[in-house]
Every structure is written in C-alpha cells, then in structure tokens.
Structure 1
Amino acid sequence: MGLGRLAGWLVLPFSLVACELVACGVKGPPRPPPPRQPEPASSLEVRQEGDALVVSFRPPRKMLGGSALEPPVRFQILATIGEKGAAAGAAATTGAAAVPAGSGRGAEGAAHGVAGTPAAAGAAGTAPVQPGAVSLPPPDQARVAAEVMRLARRVKTVPMEEGAERAEVRLTRDDFPGTRLESSHVTIGVAVIDGRGHRAPPPEVQAIEPVPSPPAPTSFNAAVTAEGVRLTWQPPDLGSYRRTSETLNLALYRWKSGEAAPSRPYRLLPADSREFLDREASAGSSLDYALRLLVGPSPPRRESTTAGPVEVAVKDTFPPAAPKGLVAVSEAELIRLFWFPSEEPDFAGYRIYRGEGDSTDFRPLTDHLLTQSSFEDHDVVKDRKYSYRVTAVDRAVPPNESEPSETVSAVAGAAMEPSSP
C-alpha cells in the first residue's frame, strides 16, 4: 500500500468525527427542532355575569421554543354541555368520584373528569369536572384537558389583543343555540392558534353550572367623607332567590383606576345591606368600585350584572378639629401656652397665632409646625397684652388647617394666673 493511500485511510476517521462535532455546533447527538406550537393559554377562570359567561385567561407571549408568535393569533373557546348535576350523577353511575381539578389526585382510583352528557361520561368511565375545577397538576393536566375537550365543540373564535395581561371573552346565550344554560353543566377550555395554523390545545378546563340571571343592586353611588369612601346602593330585589338553598352575598370589587378589574372581590357583604364605608382608601388615590350579587360558593363565581363601576378621586379636603382647652399663663419674661393634644389620625402639627392688645390681626409666631401641645412665647414686652389662637394641620396634600381655637389673652409679666378665654 502506498504512503498516500495509507495517509488517506488514517485521515478519513478523524474527518468524520470532526464533521459530526461541527455539524450541530454543540457536542452530542443532534437536537430536534424547536416545537412549532404557541404557548397555551393559562390561569383560566370562568364566571357568570347576568345571562353571560365570561372566560378569562392569561394569553401566550411566545412559541414553546421561545420564538415570537406568528400573527395573527386567535383563541378558540371550546365547550361541552351536559345536564346540571352531571358531576354527581355520572360519578354514581360509573363508580368514579368526581374530583375537582386542582385537587392533586391522580387518575388512579378516581377519574378527574370528562365533559359531555352523562351518557358520554359513562362510556368514558369518568365523571365530569366539578364546578370550580380550574387546573390539574402535571402530568395529568394536558391529558385530562384533552380528554375533557375530546367531545367539545367550538363556541367562539376571537383575535388576541396585543399587550393585554389577561384576555376576556364574553359568551352569551346566542353562542349556545338550543341550550338552556341554567339547566346545564358547562365545561370550557381555550385553544390558541397562531397565524400559520399551529395550535396549542387547552391545558386546563373549568366547569360551571349557571343559575337564572341573578337580580342586581341598583343606584350605586360613592362619596368621599372624612372617614373614608362611603358607598351606597339599593339592594337587589331577591324575589325567588330568597327561596333558594344557595347562599347570597353582595360582592364588592375595588381596584386602582386605569388598571384591570380584579378577579376576586374586595369584600363580601350581606345581600340586603345598603352601604359600606371603605376606611382603607388612601388619600391621593383614584379608585373604581363595582358591586354584584353573588350566588352560592365560589369559584366559579355566579353573579348578577354589574352595578357601577364608579370612579372616585380620594382627596382629603376635610380639616381636623380645632384644638381645645387653650390656656395662657403669664410668667416673668414669657407667656406660656397649653392645650389638649389633637386626636386626629392624620395630624401633622399646630400653628400658633398672636395678636397684640385688642387687635383682631393675628399672625403666625413660627414658620414651621409645632408637634407639642405647648408653647413658650419669649418675644413679649412687660405689661403689654397679647392674645393667642391655635390651629391644627393635617398631612393631606395640600394640607388642611382647622378652624382656630378659642382666643385667650395674657399680660406679659403679670401675676402668674392662668387666663380665661
């Protein structure tokens, strides 16, 4: 064998190894291409508002491989419709427990659920998702959601709104033709489809059993008071709802103006209440309030239409109370003032005003606020009469100043006797 041929046989294996190492750019076996599928919708919530079902979720931000979404992105709302009470009925007929999604229980021994009619549930050997089911722990999540959505039909398709933190889709009775929602067990999921048709199926589902449209509160108003924001309304006409076995409450919502409305109530109030004082509203803030009648436990929330929202600019325009008990005591070279301390929660300090003789021209003695309820006036002339008033100032922006206290007088250098107003 010639030297040239031998060298060729020796170089060939090294060339193959080098080629394999360089081909992928990294060591090891070649990696599969990134999945061409959008991120799924997440944090799914379904609630009832009046006659409508509102589907709320967090939209995707990118493809599963990390690349940008292919516009236009749209959402498919998928639903299965069964009879109300199917979660319990199907479990009884199939021997499977209807396990709320998110309970953490696996598929062994109890089915997480499948949507559809009770007959379909029986055929699948599983029970429908209980109302209030939101999500499942991995790895059951995608499997069960796929099983639930296997019988689903597309209810609505909507485009994605750019930049929204959460998406909301409102489903009306027109989206469920031939269906009496208040007699139904509805299970909903959200699929994501990008501009090239790549599809992310629902990773989670939520079920709800709607009720007849609850009556709503009316005449909802808000007013800023010295104690806080006072909300008033007319309670809903409960009518037949008083005969229901479900609990009834008013759900009060509060959020910063300009932000998205929260998904959970700020306070739950008695259904027949008529007012609420929000003492936690911070001065300088702008708040929105809304009120709905809530039927039964939640989630999922089954509520009336909304009373409000009303927007309130919380401005402190209420001055503190005037100081009380002001006394002036004349000493050898000064006049000493005492008064009762202010009990205002937003107290900032006091201003001392002085007039000479019987003048009604009172001027401040200091260029700063005093925080103690006493003061020594050393800038006095013996045998001259001085009159004093005190005001209280709060921490509002701009600050509010109280009415002046009662006026007291003293003669500098006179006998040490307390003055009277």
Structure 2
Amino acid sequence: MLCALSSCGTPGDPQPPRPPIPVAITDLSARQQGEAVVLTFTLPAQTTEGDPLAAPPDVEIFRGFLAAGAAAKAGASLALVYTIPSAVADTYIAEGRLRFADPLQPADLARYASERLVYFVRTRASKRAASADSNRVALHVYPVPEKISDLAATVTEPGVELRWSRPSRTTSSTPISALGGFRIYRAEVEPPAIAEAVADPSKAKLKTPLEILGVSPSASYRDTQFEFDRTYLYVVRSVAQYELDSVESADSNTLLLTPRDTFPPAPPENLVVVLVPATPETPAHFELSWGISQEPDVAGYHVYRSEQPGQRGTRLNRELLPTPTFRDMSIAEGRGYNYTVTVVDRAGNESAPSASVSASVPISGVAEKEKP
C-alpha cells in the first residue's frame, strides 16, 4: 500500500506546458539621429525549440551608460526603459526590421558626451519567461545642432533652389565647434495624398523612401534631379563633426513642393521668308523656314503675321506646327508683311517671338525681300 501511494508523482503524470521562449536577437544596431538613438533589429519568429511564434513577442529595451574606456560587458547593469507590447509591435516595423527611436534630452547629450550609451533587448511570448539577451551595442552620443526651421525653395528652370539658415548652436545651447556641412534628403509623395500632406506633412504617404539627395558645405543646394509636376518632400540635416565621429541634427521643417514648368523656351532663330511666284496651278505664296529649336520638350511652333512693323499681328496656324516650316498662301500683290515665329513646349509655355522678317509682294509679281 505504501509503495502504491509513493508512485503518485511518477514521470507519467501530466506536467504544466513549458512557456514559449523566443530565440535571442543577434542583429541589434544603434545610431544617433538628432536627439534620439535609433535602434533596429529583427523580431524573432521562432522559439528556442524551433516552433513558430503565434504572434510578435513583447519587446523589452534596456539602456545604461558606460564611462569612457569601459567595456560593454554582459554583466553590466542596464535598466529596463521601454516595453513595446506585442499588439503594437508591427507599427514599428519597416522593411522587415523593428525600428525604435529612444529620445534623449539635450541636457543628457551634454552630460554624457564623454560616455557611451549601451543597449540590449529581450523579447517575451509569455510572462513566465523571456528570451536571452540580445547582442549589446554601445555608442557615443553628442550634442546636436539646432533644428533648421526655415527651409525654403525657389523653382528655376535649371533646378529647385533650396536655402536655409546656418545653425550656430546645439540644442544644449552650446556653440557648435565644427559644422561639417549639410545633408539634403528627398522623397516623392503619392499623388492621391498630396492634399492631406500639404495640410499635415507628417501624414504624407511616400511613393519613394526618404533618401539622401546630396550634401552641401553651405546653406543652399540646387536639386537638378527632379521632374516637373511631381510632388517632393525635402528635409535638411546639419552635420556636427566630433573628432572621428559625426552626428546629424533632427530633420528641418518639412518642405513640400510640386515644381511647375512655367519657363518659356528660347525664341526660334534664322527665320527665312522666300516668295514663290505664281504658276498656272498655284498662286504666289511665301515659304517660311527657321532653325529647329534645341529645347528638349518642344511641342511645336506658331507663325504670326502683321502688316504693321513692331506688332506681332495674327497667328496664321490653328494647330501647332510640328516642323519648322510654313506656307503662307493668303498674300496679296502690293502688300508688305512682317513675320515672326514662336516655339511652344509641352507645358504650354510659348517663347518670345523670333526676330521679325519683312517681305513684300510687288504688283509686278517680283518679291522684294528685305532683311529684318
């Protein structure tokens, strides 16, 4: 009887299920961007036993400070500073990686300028057990230049001319010891979201990601890599230089811009007017020709005629002329005419008139062509 009673705790009895433990994160990285440290890593999708996780795990972020020269040892004491619940983890995912910005106060950036920040993360699929610690990352943090707040632009034919004021102080109100220039970023905005983006740039839906467009040593930049009638989002970041390290400021004010082509082409050149005498089959007329426009977006040409010198007069063609030639059949003997031509681009901009060329039709039928 005693033996029977003692067998009640044998291995064959039901055991409580083991909690799922996510595999440890191994690709944690960190970089300073403005007054924040941006952490990125890949969320685990499996447990340590190789089973798939039913949902994204909770994320726990640990942070601490190290004195200059100290090693980021696994046993160093770091405090839990943030928890990202499973229910909202997917809102931090971008291009397959979780991205989290740890904001730092300007006073902290100044206070810990000679120290390093250290981070590691853990994940939990159950309250009963957490994953092992991720790899640890350590980085210096520095005071950053004040945010640029007056980014503006002017659209010119060669490009979008960006300009802003050069910052002189950090967010900690200390002078910038060495400003290493500026980085210009640009993204294209989805057309259906333009109205919403104009009202609130933070809600802009991007057609292309925000990427670096170029760098500038001065507080201006010309963007020549744009297309008219597309909407772009611009931001600029200052770069402060610290010995071998550099750090960007926060984004400038957001500039939304849709460049429009309002720039007329150059006027045509080398207009020539030649009288073609009448034949039994064809009345006398003028043949006009001029140089082909070198503009890259030519849509066509217009021809104007006036009987008063210095006036453009009446347009003779109803539709744009695709080639630089025209035949004027509506001339009369004894009359003098002044001709000009213009070029029109695909945006509908019309050039100034070409140099005027005068020609007359003598009653005798012999044209007396005059130079402009």
Scaled to the shorter chain, the TM-score interval is 0.5 to 0.7
Aligned partner of residue 151 in structure 2, secondary structure: strand
Q: Which moved more, 1:175-184 or 1:331-340?
A: 175-184
> Is residue 160 of structure 1 aligned with residue 110 of structure 2?
no
Matches within 5 A, 1:13-412: 37=22, 44-49=29-34, 51-57=35-41, 63=46, 69-70=54-55, 73-84=57-68, 86=69, 117-118=70-71, 121=73, 152-158=78-84, 159-162=88-91, 164-165=93-94, 167-173=98-104, 180-194=111-125, 206-237=137-168, 243=177, 248-257=180-189, 258-259=205-206, 265-270=212-217, 273-296=218-241, 302-332=247-277, 333-344=284-295, 346-355=296-305, 362-365=314-317, 367-371=319-323, 374-377=324-327, 379-381=329-331, 383=333, 385-396=336-347, 399-411=348-360
* Cα gap change, 1:76 to 1:36, in 2 (>3 Å): closer
Whether the aligned pair in 1 keeps the contact of 2:37 and 2:102 (CA below 8 Å) is: yes
Q: Residue 38 of structure 2 aligns to which amino acid in structure 1?
A: V
Question: Structure 1's 420 and 350: CA in aligned 2 closer, same or farther, altered over 3 A?
Answer: farther
CA contact (8 A) 1:322 1:405 kept: yes
Identify the structure with the greater helix proportion: 1
- Give 1:375 deviation, angstroms: 1.0
Q: Which runs of 5+ in 2 are unaligned?
A: 1-19, 190-204, 278-283
| Cα root mean square deviation, aligned | 4.2
Which amino acid counterpart does residue 142 of structure 2 have in structure 1?
V
- What amino acid does structure 2 have at the position aligned with 1:76? E
TM-score (normalised: structure 1) = 0.61
* Equivalenced residues, count: 317
Q: Deviations over 1:120-178 (max 9, x none)?
A: 65xxxxxxxxxxxxxxxxxxxxxxxxxx5875443212341448425543323479989
Residue 68 of structure 1: CA displacement?
6.9
- Contact 1:235–1:274 at 8 Å: present in 2 too? yes
SS class of match (1:160): helix
Richer in strand (by share): 2
* Partner AA of 2:354 in structure 1: S
Q: Could you tell me the percent identity over the aligned residues?
A: 23
Output the amino acid matched with 2:351.
S
Amino acid at match of 2:39: V
TM-score of the pair, normalised by structure 2: 0.67
Give the conservation status (yes or no) of the 8 Å contact 1:74–1:157: yes
Per-residue deviation, residues 206-264 of structure 1 (Å, max 9, x unmatched): 432111232343421122222221111111115965645xx612121111232299576
